[in-house]
């Protein structure tokens, strides 16, 4: 696939995100109160024609800076500047009077130029990369239509579309029936699951508060996403009541320790009610043994949730869906199509096996000004009361349009290609002197150390780990400032800083993967 096909830059998202800022720069403080509370427009306010002209010209800039250049391997992943320098370049100050047409176009250029190009062939830093053309078109349309997903009245096409997409996703899990909703990210999806699980176990918590509920216990692996602790804190369960279960060397939950932690929680007077299993952990890409965890959850009367925000997309692949064997036994799951499927930020769902309307009963507030019961259409189509939000962005269109374009097989091919590229990279890495895997990859996360020549053969020296810990941060700083590529790093469970490379985008070629090894070697050779 040519580099210019199938991908846009995430910098375009920054344009959308910055639209409010641009409008403020254009209008300044030109809206002033007139007689009888009416507003009078200052001369600097853009009229409709001028606004359309600006939008048209700005889009040309976006196509050049945030699409064409961002996918060019000869361009930098990021034009790095220190914060003080970047503030000056962007001219972030908001003033009383608006700026000229040309000044505003320059603002768009500057924002695009100095943003990280996440669809660049050498961006390996996050669990998302690249942008699908059809998904991007969906994002453009929803931003333009600017509606909320809460009622059929204001979002008829999208309410019906969300239902179809959720049904299709649930069918991939193995649920013929169930429920779900699009959420603003995986962390929120996980919080929904924990809140619904508490309502399932103790429905009085919704009306009577926390005093009516015993001390509750949550179980999750040591390498699970931090949103489990945040959810427990936000919901009033308490972070000290989150029990972290041990993992093996590859990062998979150890079922025997889960059983031991449940017994321990009960001995402390806590009531176990929620188990979170991970399908594709953030660092190592680990998949917990779901069938075994389901056995334990069922025997203890607990809600089983699977955080498959990262790994859920393997359900499309016949070759790799065995990684989530047993997921159909879970009560709920989180899935982020904006990651491996490249639907674009944000696109996250909470899916549930429940058929008793738990999601609605747990969250509804029955606002009569929005969810009137005597509407002229089927009020079951008003899904807003399932959500803890009122205004809710339309996140289903980008996934639906992309899915319509490439089909389930096209999405499966995307998953399989990521695995194939990962295998190629690991094979090359193992043959390179100075590179060492942290663990054998289960997914498309490759964790490894680069050991510079000065440290080779000195593994038994007293300061070896201290010196090795400094290697990845220094190389990361050099690659970011030079703009050659971007790869993340972190320590983990006593293992000092190592690189975590995410091999995701189908835009990648083998030469890009070769370049990554060459570049790390070049940047760290003198350490």
CB 312 within 8 A of CB 280: yes
pLDDT tens digits, 61-70: 888 888 778 7
Minimum mean pLDDT range among 20-29, 82-91, 166-175, 347-356: 20-29
Residues 6+ away with beta carbon under 8 Å from 353: 175, 178, 328, 330, 331, 332
Structural domain 11-120, CATH architecture: Alpha-Beta Complex (3.90)
pLDDT tens digits, 21-43: 444 454 444 444 443 444 444 44
For residue 507, the model assigns a pLDDT of: 83
Structural domain 405-524, CATH architecture: Alpha-Beta Complex (3.90)
What is the 3-class SS of 294-336, one letter each residue?
HHHHHHCCCEEEEEECCCHHHHHCCCCHHHHCCHHHCCEEEEC
Peptide bond into 346 cis (omega under 30): yes
The DSSP element (H or E) to which 509 belongs, if any, is none
Q: Where in the chain is the domain with CATH 3.90.1150.170?
A: 11-120, 405-524
Percent of the chain residues topping a pLDDT of 70: 91
Determine the average pLDDT of the residues in 384-413: 94
CB 430 within 8 A of CB 352: no
The vertex-187 CA angle with 145 and 286, nearest 5°, equals 125
Q: How far apart are CA 521 and CA 433, in angstroms?
A: 10
Q: How many CB atoms neighbour CB 250 within 10 A?
A: 16
The vertex-453 CA angle with 452 and 457, nearest 5°, equals 105
Burial label, 263 (beta-carbon count in 10 A; 0-12, 13-18, 19+): exposed
| Burial per residue of 467-490, b for 16 or more beta-carbon CB atoms within 10 angstroms, e otherwise | bbbebbeebbebbbeebbbbbbbe
pTM, 2 dp: 0.88
CB 118 within 8 A of CB 128: yes
State the pLDDT confidence band at 45, using cuts at 50, 70 and 90. Answer: low
pLDDT tens digits, 108-144: 999 999 999 988 888 888 888 877 889 989 998 999 9
Closest-CA residue to 113 (of 27, 18, 190, 20): 18
């Amino acid at each position: 696939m040519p580099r210019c096909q199938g991908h846009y830059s995430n910098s375009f998202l920054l344009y959308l995100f910055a639209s409010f800022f641009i409008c403020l720069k254009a209008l300044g403080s030109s809206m002033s109160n007139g007689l009888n509370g009416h507003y009078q427009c200052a001369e600097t306010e853009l009229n409709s024609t001028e606004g359309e002209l600006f939008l048209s010209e700005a889009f040309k800039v976006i196509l050049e800076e945030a699409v064409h250049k961002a996918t060019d391997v000869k361009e930098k992943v990021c034009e790095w500047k220190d914060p003080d320098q970047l503030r000056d370049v962007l001219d972030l100050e908001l003033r009383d009077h608006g700026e000229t047409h040309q000044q505003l176009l320059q603002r768009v250029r500057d924002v695009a130029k100095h943003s990280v190009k996440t669809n660049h062939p050498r961006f390996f830093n996050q669990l998302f990369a690249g942008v699908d053309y059809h998904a991007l078109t969906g994002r453009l349309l929803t931003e333009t239509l600017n509606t909320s997903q809460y009622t059929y009245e204001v979002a008829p096409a999208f309410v019906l579309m969300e239902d179809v997409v959720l049904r299709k996703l649930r069918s991939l899990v193995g649920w013929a029936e169930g429920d779900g909703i699009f959420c603003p990210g995986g962390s929120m999806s996980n919080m929904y699951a924990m809140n619904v699980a508490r309502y399932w176990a103790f429905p009085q918590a919704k009306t009577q508060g926390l005093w009516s509920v015993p001390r509750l216990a949550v179980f999750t692996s040591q390498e699970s996403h931090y949103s489990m602790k945040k959810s427990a804190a936000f919901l009033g369960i308490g972070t000290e009541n989150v029990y972290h279960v041990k993992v093996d060397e590859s990062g998979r939950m150890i079922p025997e320790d889960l059983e031991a932690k449940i017994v321990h929680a009960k001995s402390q007077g806590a009531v176990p009610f929620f188990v979170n299993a991970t399908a594709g952990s953030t660092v190592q890409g680990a998949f917990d043994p779901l069938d075994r965890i389901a056995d334990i959850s069922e025997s203890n009367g607990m809600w089983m949730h699977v955080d498959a925000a990262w790994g859920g997309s393997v359900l499309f692949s016949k070759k790799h869906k065995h990684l989530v064997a047993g997921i159909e036994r879970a009560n709920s799951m989180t899935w982020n199509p904006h990651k491996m499927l490249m639907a674009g930020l944000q696109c996250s769902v909470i899916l549930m096996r429940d058929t008793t309307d738990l999601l609605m009963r747990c969250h509804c507030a029955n606002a009569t000004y929005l969810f009137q019961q005597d509407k002229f259409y089927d009020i079951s189509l008003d899904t807003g009361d399932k959500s803890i939000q009122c205004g809710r962005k339309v996140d289903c269109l980008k996934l639906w349009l992309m899915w319509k374009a490439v089909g389930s097989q096209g999405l499966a091919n995307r998953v399989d290609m990521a695995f194939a590229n990962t295998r190629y990279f690991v094979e090359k890495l193992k043959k390179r002197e100075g590179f060492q895997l942290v663990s054998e990859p289960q997914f498309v996360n490759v964790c490894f150390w680069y050991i510079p020549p000065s440290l080779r053969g000195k593994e038994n020296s007293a300061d070896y780990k201290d010196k090795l810990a400094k290697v990845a941060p220094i190389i990361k700083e050099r690659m970011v400032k030079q703009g050659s590529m971007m790869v993340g790093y972190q320590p983990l469970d006593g293992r000092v800083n190592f690189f975590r490379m995410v091999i995701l985008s189908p835009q990648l070629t083998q030469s890009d993967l070769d370049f990554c090894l060459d570049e790390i070697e070049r940047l760290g050779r003198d350490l």
